[in-house]
Amino acid sequence: MRFPALVAAVAAALIASPAARTDAQPSSPSQQPPAPAAVHIPFIEGKPFAEVLRRAKAEGKAVMLDVVAAWCGPCKIMDKTTFSDPAVVEWAKRTVIPARVDAEKGEGRRIAARYATYSFPTVLFLDADGNEIDRLVGGYQAGDFQHGADAVLNGRTPLLKGVAKLKSSWNADEALLVANALALRGDLPRLRPLALRIVSEEGDLSRPEVFQLFLQLVAIETLQNDQSSETADLIATFLPRLGTDPRRGFFAAALVTGLGKRGDVASARAVTQETLAALGESTAYSADAVAALGGSERQAGNGPEALAAFRRAASLAEKNGAAEGTRVERQLDLAEALASSGKTGEAKKAYLKAIAIGPLDTQLSARAARVALAVKESAEAVKHARRAVELSNGEDAAAQAALAAALRATGDRTGAAAALKRASEIDPRNAEYRTAAPEPAKKKSAKAS
């Protein structure tokens, strides 16, 4: 759902109508009027997001998070006008904890992804637990911004009114509109109860809009690694009814992943078998479903079964002409499983096949580094990890952590410690990154006996 915002024409008007200035200079310094004190919202920048939330909780205020990008013209206009307006500045100091992140740098990348922020400027209003209240998208003049922000904080936006109305008076069609708006911004806490009720009351997925909503819910839960038991139950209920619909494979892969995390590998096997029996092995999601089974078997400690599943998934991805990224991922799955089974030679072949498929993005480069370590190729691991860091301009925590592991394997403990420290700075909530790398070995004193 989009909320009122100034469009490009208004931004252009702001640019075309700068504040009046004069070229005349006073005849002497004594004639110059005193410069007005600079006013600007005191945004918190460069601090961990967790620290911002702690301050919000301590002061009992909402967070106003300005999400920007360095190239965003309207962001710069708002910074010079709206966020320097005395009334807005005073309002912000009194009402919210103001913070700002660059969506393309550091922790800002993770935050922008978490809140599905793809248009700039976007100002998010969050409670002290980091849950979104609502947002303002686009450029706003001072008065309009303060009016819109007050509407957010007082529950008067269309979205917030819709959410409140549904609590007292349920209407499935209205709920569908609200749920779709929440799905677009990845707002799982508020989306999930609405979507589950809509789908449960509908009783099937015959309506395209209900099917699409459920698909979005499952995708968001998968992305956030947070599948609910209610969602899993609904997937299990609807899977047989989907017949030969190719999207059955997507739902099956999500369900199998969830079953594996819950330790129910028997059900994971049954779902995978039933799905392949219905769809065959040539559909787009067949390799994903089998790979999900491999993950379930691995979590259960079933090494041989996991290896068999990953072999099959890699073969299916190759045979079905899956996208390059998918084929790389499946080969890396296989390489890891082979390495875990002590089949280092085969593992290396699978690893080499993976990296030969095509260019690797940041995530795949970081993963290739981990697999290279598993096949005893430390120099290759460093190369892939450095590439991941380079592709992300040093702003991806997983890439930095992969570099730390690779450098540690080559004996560069100082470099490993620095990379792990950087990973922790980018993503301070990740416990793995907070684990300190070994300190560099101290040289023995010449006087030591």
Instruction: Please indicate, yes or no, if residue 276 is contained in any of the structural domains.
Output: no
pLDDT at 3 over 90: no
Q: Encode pLDDT of 422-444 as tens digits.
A: 888 877 777 787 665 444 444 44
Q: Encode pLDDT of 153-165 as tens digits.
A: 999 999 999 999 9
Residues 389-393, mean pLDDT to the nearest whole number: 88
Do 51 and 147 lie in a common domain? Answer: yes
Q: Encode pLDDT of 314-343 as tens digits.
A: 999 999 999 999 999 999 999 999 999 999
Burial 371-409 (b: 16+ CB within 10 A, else e): bbbbbebbebbbbbbbbbbebbebbbbbbbbbbbbbbbb
Percent of the chain with pLDDT over 70: 88
Instruction: Please indicate, yes or no, if residue 194 is contained in any of the structural domains.
Output: yes
Closest CA to 135 of 73, 80, 190: 190
How far apart, in whole angstroms, are the C-alpha atoms of residue 374 and residue 368? 10
Sole residue written with tokens 């999900």: 292
Q: Which domain holds residue 234?
A: 161-238
Do 104 and 171 lie in a common domain? Answer: no
Residues 378-404, mean pLDDT to the nearest whole number: 93
Closest CA to 326 of 282, 360, 376, 298: 360
Instruction: Please indicate, yes or no, if residue 171 is contained in any of the structural domains.
Output: yes
pTM for the full model? 0.79
Q: Encode pLDDT of 241-251 as tens digits.
A: 999 999 999 99
Burial classification of residue 57, based on how many CB atoms lie within 10 Å of its CB (0-12 exposed, 13-18 middle, 19 or more buried): middle
CA-based torsion, 152, 157, 163, 167: positive or negative: positive
Q: Give the pLDDT band (50/70/90) at residue 303.
A: very high
Do 172 and 82 lie in a common domain? Answer: no
pLDDT at 396 over 50: yes
Looking at residue 366, its amino acid is: A
Do 170 and 95 lie in a common domain? Answer: no
How far apart, in whole angstroms, are the C-alpha atoms of residue 404 and residue 436? 10
pLDDT at 44: 96
Residues 105-124, mean pLDDT to the nearest whole number: 91
Sort strands 96-102 and 132-137 into parallel, antiparallel or unpaired. Answer: unpaired
How far apart, in whole angstroms, are the C-alpha atoms of residue 43 and residue 68? 12
Do 141 and 172 lie in a common domain? Answer: no
Helix (H, G, I), strand (E, B) or coil at 132: strand
Do 205 and 130 lie in a common domain? Answer: no
Residues 397-413, mean pLDDT to the nearest whole number: 95
Q: Tell me if 128 sits within 8 A of 56, measured CB to CB.
A: yes
pLDDT at 425: 81
> How many Å separate Cα 143 from the centre of its chain?
33
DSSP 244-298: T-TTHHHHHHHHHHHHHHTT-HHHHHHHHHHHHHHH-S-STTHHHHHHHHHHHHH
DSSP state of 6: B
pLDDT at 156: 97
pLDDT at 26: 33
Do 191 and 95 lie in a common domain? Answer: no
Q: Tell me if 112 sits within 8 A of 100, measured CB to CB.
A: no
Residues 362-369, mean pLDDT to the nearest whole number: 95
Torsion angle defined by CA atoms of residues 395, 398, 400 and 406, in that order, rounded to the nearest 10 degrees: -160
pLDDT at 285 over 80: yes
DSSP state of 341: T
Residues 82-99, mean pLDDT to the nearest whole number: 97
Instruction: Please indicate, yes or no, if residue 446 is contained in any of the structural domains.
Output: no
pLDDT at 141 over 90: yes
Residues 115-123, mean pLDDT to the nearest whole number: 94
Instruction: Please indicate, yes or no, if residue 257 is contained in any of the structural domains.
Output: no
pLDDT at 28: 38
How far apart, in whole angstroms, are the C-alpha atoms of residue 73 and residue 70? 8
Q: Encode pLDDT of 184-205 as tens digits.
A: 999 999 999 999 999 999 998 9
Of 447 and 291, more confident: 291
pLDDT at 280: 94
Sole residue written with tokens 């290759």: 380
DSSP state of 126: E
Percent of the chain with pLDDT over 90: 78
The mean predicted confidence, pLDDT, of the chain is 88
Q: Encode pLDDT of 16-47 as tens digits.
A: 223 322 223 333 334 444 434 458 999 999 88
Do 152 and 49 lie in a common domain? Answer: yes
| CATH number for the domain that contains residue 134 | 3.40.30.10
pLDDT at 4 over 60: no
pLDDT at 105: 85
Of 13 and 218, more confident: 218
Do 68 and 151 lie in a common domain? Answer: yes
Six-digit token pair at 424? 């922790």
What's the total number of domains in the chain?
2
pLDDT at 86 over 90: yes
Of 156, 180, 207, the residue at which a domain comes to its end is 156
Do 152 and 216 lie in a common domain? Answer: no
Instruction: Please indicate, yes or no, if residue 169 is contained in any of the structural domains.
Output: yes
pLDDT at 442: 47
pLDDT at 25: 33
Do 182 and 122 lie in a common domain? Answer: no
Q: Encode pLDDT of 42-77 as tens digits.
A: 999 988 898 999 999 999 999 999 999 999 999 999
pLDDT at 444: 45
CA dist 58 to 50, 63, 96, 97, 221, Å? 12, 12, 12, 11, 30
Instruction: Please indicate, yes or no, if residue 318 is contained in any of the structural domains.
Output: no
pLDDT at 38: 59
DSSP state of 136: E
Closest CA to 120 of 63, 64, 76: 76
Of 127, 156, 185, the residue at which a domain comes to its end is 156
Of 122, 156, 190, the residue at which a domain comes to its end is 156
Instruction: Please indicate, yes or no, if residue 440 is contained in any of the structural domains.
Output: no
Do 114 and 198 lie in a common domain? Answer: no
